[in-house]
């Protein structure tokens, strides 16, 4: 069972209200001075991690340990700073990659940044639902490919909020769902790793070299 289907099962029997992203949190795009090729925008003293689409892991809701580029002190005033623990999502290229930033960084304009939350919500639960919604949209896209999406378009995406009339209970349910999904994800990753390990040793044990025929 996929994480997406598992998430749907966890919400079975729970009273939910579907709300548009714009009614759950405020968000904005990142930014970066142009042109990208200007060497003054990169590295140097007091440079910081600069997050682009390529720096967001395709799974695990995290950034890669080291970003491909670091933004210079000069360019930082022309970009958007986010603190550790901020939810971001890619909107161009490989869209729908979601991360909860694990370090302070600056964000490129190809990503959206979720800032103030209009209602109480568990950020990891929000990230799971955001990822699920983008996966659905990509399936329904023309030619099964969704290469870009506007801020206005995805602001209308709806996600389920459990027990919205009781914020305390809602957060408790969200936290429990996150705990279960994290465990499920870890087990899935472990099984995948074990499967690869098994296949490696199977090939090692069964890959006998055919002896050369004796010369006649």
SS3 category, 211: coil
Say what the pLDDT of residue 2 is.
Answer: 66
Say what the pLDDT of residue 193 is.
Answer: 84
Residue in 129, 133, 127 with CA at minimum distance from that of residue 98: 127
Rounded Cα distance between 31 and 98, Å, is 18
Say what the pLDDT of residue 179 is.
Answer: 92
Residues sharing a CB contact under 8 Å with residue 103, sequence separation 6 or more, in sequence order: 49, 63, 84
Say what the pLDDT of residue 3 is.
Answer: 67
The verdict on whether omega for the bond into residue 35 sits within 30 degrees of 0, i.e. cis, is yes
Residue in 153, 128, 127 with CA at minimum distance from that of residue 140: 153
- Confirm or reject CATH 3.90.220.20 for domain 3-206, answering yes or no: yes
Say what the pLDDT of residue 156 is.
Answer: 92
Please give the average pLDDT of every successive group of 10 residues along the chain, which has 216 residues.
68 82 95 95 97 92 96 97 97 92 97 92 95 85 66 89 91 92 84 83 67 54
SS3 category, 119: coil
CA angle, corner 5, sides to 126 and 134, nearest 5? 50
Say what the pLDDT of residue 205 is.
Answer: 65
Domain boundaries along the sequence of the chain: 3-206
Report the sign of the C-alpha dihedral through residues 7, 184, 67, 25, in that order.
positive
By DSSP bridging, strand 87-90 and strand 111-117 are antiparallel
Say what the pLDDT of residue 142 is.
Answer: 56
């Amino acid at each position: 069972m996929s994480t997406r289907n598992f998430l749907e099962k966890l919400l079975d029997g729970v009273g939910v209200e579907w709300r548009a992203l714009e009614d759950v949190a405020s968000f904005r795009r990142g930014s970066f001075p142009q042109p990208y090729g200007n060497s003054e925008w990169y590295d140097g003293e007091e440079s910081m991690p600069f997050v682009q689409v390529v720096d967001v892991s395709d799974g695990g809701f995290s950034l890669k340990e080291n970003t491909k580029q670091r933004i210079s002190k000069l360019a930082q005033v022309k970009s958007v700073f986010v603190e550790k623990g901020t939810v971001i999502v890619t909107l161009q290229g490989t869209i729908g990659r979601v991360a909860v930033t694990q370090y302070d960084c600056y964000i490129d304009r190809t990503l959206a940044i979720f800032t103030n939350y209009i209602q109480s919500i568990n950020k990891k639960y929000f990230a799971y639902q955001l990822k699920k919604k983008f996966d659905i949209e990509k399936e329904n896209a023309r030619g099964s490919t969704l290469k870009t999406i506007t801020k206005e378009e995805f602001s209308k995406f709806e996600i389920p909020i459990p027990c919205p009339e009781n914020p305390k209970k809602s957060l408790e349910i969200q936290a429990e769902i996150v705990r279960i999904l994290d465990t499920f994800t870890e087990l899935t990753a472990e099984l995948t790793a074990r499967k690869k390990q098994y296949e490696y040793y199977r090939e090692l044990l069964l890959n006998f070299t055919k002896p050369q025929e004796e010369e006649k």
